[in-house]
Structure 1
Amino acid sequence: MRAIKRMAVESSLVAGEEGEVEVNDDRISLLPDPILTMILSLIPVIEAARTSVLSKRWRYLWTSIPHLDFFNFFDAFFPGGLPTQVGEKCISVFNQIFACRQAHINSCELPIFDDCPFDLDYFFFRLDELGIQDLLLSYFGKDPINLPSLFFCNSLKKLKILCFLVRLPSQFNQLTNLQALELIVVSITSTHLETLVAGCPRLENLTICQSVHLSELRIRAPNLLLLDIFVEEDKRRFRFSLIKAPRLKHIVLGYSLNKEFRHNFSEEEDEEDENKIDEVDNLIKLLMNLDHLERFSFRCCPYLFKFKSIMRLPDSLPIGCQLVHMKKLFMELNFDDAAMVSPLLFLLRSCPNLEQLSLECRCSKTGFPIETNYWEKQKPPECLKSHLMTIQIEYIRLSSKNVIEFLKFLLVNARVLVRMRLLYSKSSTDQSKEDIVVNELLLFNRASQNALLEIKPGRRFYGS
């Protein structure tokens, strides 16, 4: 605020004809409102509010700031954390800010603390009155709290909440304008999630990350374009029960196991779960309902591929149910594990028009060994013959025979390949052997003579 005040004072002093100093109109204050509010939006909210003492021109200007970032407020005044005794003072400041507010609010970011009990009902009521469109809420406390009144803010277009309890009120109907929803480490049941998504008819982007108590995903969203979900599993296995999203273009799936469950993930539990859940049928049913997908990204903990049933996948999806619109595929896998290679081949054969393939190699101690000459026995997927143009594979180990055989399988069958880019983990002991393998790959016969092969080890680079 001092800088703005100094600019206003300095700009009002101009030289007279004989060197005298005259005071003219404040040129800073004569700037258009949009420019001034843009300047004020770059400083903490409380500092912007203090500019109201500069002049009549500035008195209510700060109330038109389109973006309210209260994270900056706490960082500026309480860098060491929020003292308990200032809770009431903070509430008073927030009440004054919203009482004086006149213009609409485009976006607001607010941290909520245990020792600063906001009147959340009033807060969400005022936000809805002021036409809030983009809201970020983050909770910093021991036990998550519920936000029932939040789900009556019908002006919201984008909502992101972190570390809260989500229990929809019985009167919940719809968030008719919501287009993007992010639930990060929230506690929500499958039933409440299904009701929430179904009550957002314009929802286009849905992100769910490490949500507690979520065991099933049932989605009904007519306008959903992106589904990004990361699940950390415990003894309750997560399942995709239903996805009805006719416009869905991109799915990002991430799976992991919490440390305790990973430690106790024994062979006996594996066999028991295999009898209860047919992972193969679950995967096939999911993909058959998503034949309109254009992008699929799959990140998965290797421990989840311990089920032998995953290797009983068919060659591909049925002809009438293949992913004919799929253009981009990303997957993490271990090339030395047959249980992870099998889903990759299944997806490649089920995406006949795939154009871009991105893979990341992950090593794991568990897995099923790959049979000798495995890749020589495989029939090349249709996408390799006519559509796959770009391949990128990261963190490969050139010492792995299975990796090298897979790369040769791609090179000898990808007829329209334009570029293959490889990033490998550099060894400190076998550098000479790595150079031999690199040269072998660079000289290897390719089905596409114009294909560019790039091999990059850390800071070193090879290409042909």
Structure 2
Amino acid sequence: MEPSLHGAQLAAKSSEDDAGMDRLSALPNDVLLRILLRLEDAAVAGRTSVLSSRWRRLWALLPELRFHSSREPRLIASALLAHEAALSCLDVGAEDAAPESVAAWLPVAARRLSGSLVFTNRVPGKKNANEDGEERGAFELPCLANATGVSLDLGCLGVSVPRAGVFARLTELSLSRVQFRGGPCALGDAVSSRRCPCLEKLTVRDALGPSDLAIRSDSLRHMELADVRGLRRLTVVVPALEHLTVVACFYHHHPNRPVANITARQLKELRWGDMFDRRSVQLGKMKHLQCLCPDILLVYGSSPNRSCIELLRCFKVIQKLSLTLIYPPDIDDQPYLLGDMKILPGATFLHLSLTSNGHAFGASLFHVLRLCSGTRKLALKLFSDSLEEQNACPPGCICVEQQNWKTEELLLNQLRELEITEFRGSENEVTFVKQLFKWATVLKRMKLTFNSLVKESVAERFYKILQSFSRPEICMEFYMYKDMMEVLYAPED
């Protein structure tokens, strides 16, 4: 790191102004290093060497180095070679880096690093690893023997994992926007207990390949696979696994059934937002499962919710069931799909996320609650980007045809807690909440949070309306946003 001329001029002027007095340099090394750590970039820290001989090698003792926007990979390699202290954190940012530029500094980092590595390759216009099918070249990931955490967002570059070596201290590994090379089993072997004996968290997002992923680990507790394109077969043998997420991996280019075999007896949370077929996806025994989150449920549409319903049929009782219901914006001439769902697992806690796109949604929520009437806590989240969405539904829309839910009987005689978030005050919302109070005969507590766009005058009006539905034994709390903070709302009398 060479000092800049401008920095030297500033240092000279400072010396003249202080008449040779340099009180800052008299501070102990540990204090000066704390000062350098607060600088935004390692290159800036390196330029302090022009201040005096006292500062010349201080930057090389920093336990953390950050290069936020590096266009010269050779300078990173040179800085790492000159660095003298144990490196607990290396954070590198790049703009549209080529694979050879990453290969220039990464092997040096592997030898010096004893903590976490974060690399972010920012590529304008590139959102995923295979949006145009282009192969952008690849580099080989070295064995990071002493790294404790590795997070690589490669900006759609290709990478081949090392076929030998042990990541002895690695506990967390995250790979994003990456194209895997080097054979179908390379990644699974690299993260196995044999190669990563301490790995606890594995995240692979927006990746191209591998087609056959087999993960066998005794240490993994959290694993997320999201948008891994090209995946045909998944094998997970992880006895200690507690959280598993599989989202949009089997959907891509696969008309055939997904093939997966999951052995995770300690699993507590399963999020499966993907194709599912009980004939080809084996979940094994999950006696400790507490939370189940299946794929989205389309209320109307041309594609049945077969995968989601298939997964739900695998469980009879669950502590927390999280469902996402979506109304497409245009539902004209589309069949109603929720009728295919005849049974739900018994759930103590039911979490419903709803995107209504302005449509009347009471019938769909009534259907879900009737199938899960023994729930003790209900959380309803109403997704919306604007307050005007309530007027998006055109006159004569088929969503208003199903009105029987307002008169049919429903007894929610176990429901004691109700949470509603993103409440905007649409007619559909008010009508449904009113019905909820009728069904929930033993309700004890309701917490309602207004949408952040709701003004205080509007919140006051709906506060009074909702209070009129209540009963004396129900504790009601209202919240709204002020200065981006959620605060308790209680209008003045």
- TM-score under structure 2 length normalisation: 0.65
Residue identity in the other structure for 1:427: Q
The question of whether the paired residues in 2 share the 8 Å contact of 1:124 and 1:153 is answered with no
Task: Measure the CA separation in 2 of the matches of 1:437 and 1:62.
Answer: 64
Between structures 1 and 2, the one with greater helix share: 1
Task: Measure the CA separation in 2 of the matches of 1:458 and 1:95.
Answer: 47
**2:440 maps to 1:449:** no
**2:83 maps to 1:101:** yes
| C-alpha deviation, 1:215, in angstroms | 1.7
| C-alpha deviation, 1:441, in angstroms | 3.0
| C-alpha deviation, 1:382, in angstroms | 3.0
Query: What is the CA RMSD across the aligned residues, in angstroms?
Result: 4.3
- 1:174-323 equivalences under 5 Å are 174-188=166-180, 189-198=183-192, 199-231=195-227, 233=229, 238-255=231-248, 273=256, 277=257, 279=258, 282=259, 285-286=261-262, 289-300=263-274, 321-323=285-287
The question of whether the paired residues in 2 share the 8 Å contact of 1:332 and 1:359 is answered with yes
Assess, with a 3 A threshold, how the Cα gap between structure 1 residues 118 and 370 changes in structure 2: closer, same or farther: closer
Q: Which residue of 2 aligns with 1:325?
A: 289
Assess, with a 3 A threshold, how the Cα gap between structure 1 residues 52 and 449 changes in structure 2: closer, same or farther: same
| C-alpha deviation, 1:421, in angstroms | 2.7
The question of whether the paired residues in 2 share the 8 Å contact of 1:52 and 1:60 is answered with yes
Q: Secondary structure at the match of 1:70?
A: strand
Residue identity in the other structure for 1:184: S
Output one character per residue of 1:101-133: Cα deviation in whole Å (capped at 9) or x when no partner: 111112223338667955947x44533442342
Residue identity in the other structure for 1:295: E
Give unpaired runs (5+ residues) of structure 1. Answer: 14-20, 75-81, 262-268
Correspondence for 1:395 among 349, 355, 361: 355
Assess, with a 3 A threshold, how the Cα gap between structure 1 residues 12 and 33 changes in structure 2: closer, same or farther: farther
Q: Which residue of 2 aligns with 1:48?
A: 45
Residue identity in the other structure for 1:340: N
Task: Measure the CA separation in 2 of the matches of 1:4 and 1:445.
Answer: 76
Task: Measure the CA separation in 2 of the matches of 1:33 and 1:348.
Answer: 63
Q: Secondary structure at the match of 2:235?
A: strand
| C-alpha deviation, 1:53, in angstroms | 1.7
Q: Secondary structure at the match of 2:248?
A: strand
Between structures 1 and 2, the one with greater strand share: 2
Task: Measure the CA separation in 2 of the matches of 1:68 and 1:6.
Answer: 24
Task: Measure the CA separation in 1 of the matches of 2:244 and 2:12.
Answer: 52
The question of whether the paired residues in 2 share the 8 Å contact of 1:252 and 1:297 is answered with yes
Q: Which residue of 2 aligns with 1:16?
A: none
Task: Measure the CA separation in 2 of the matches of 1:353 and 1:11.
Answer: 70
- TM-score under structure 1 length normalisation: 0.69
Task: Measure the CA separation in 2 of the matches of 1:97 and 1:55.
Answer: 19
**2:419 maps to 1:427:** no
Give unpaired runs (5+ residues) of structure 2. Answer: 124-133, 394-424, 471-493
**2:153 maps to 1:136:** no
Q: Which residue of 2 aligns with 1:58?
A: 55
Greater CA drift, 37-46 or 453-462: 453-462
Output one character per residue of 1:39-67: Cα deviation in whole Å (capped at 9) or x when no partner: 32323222211111212221111112222
**2:337 maps to 1:370:** yes
Matched positions, count: 396
Task: Measure the CA separation in 2 of the matches of 1:116 and 1:356.
Answer: 43
Percent identity between matched residues is 17
Assess, with a 3 A threshold, how the Cα gap between structure 1 residues 126 and 115 changes in structure 2: closer, same or farther: closer
Task: Measure the CA separation in 1 of the matches of 2:316 and 2:11.
Answer: 61
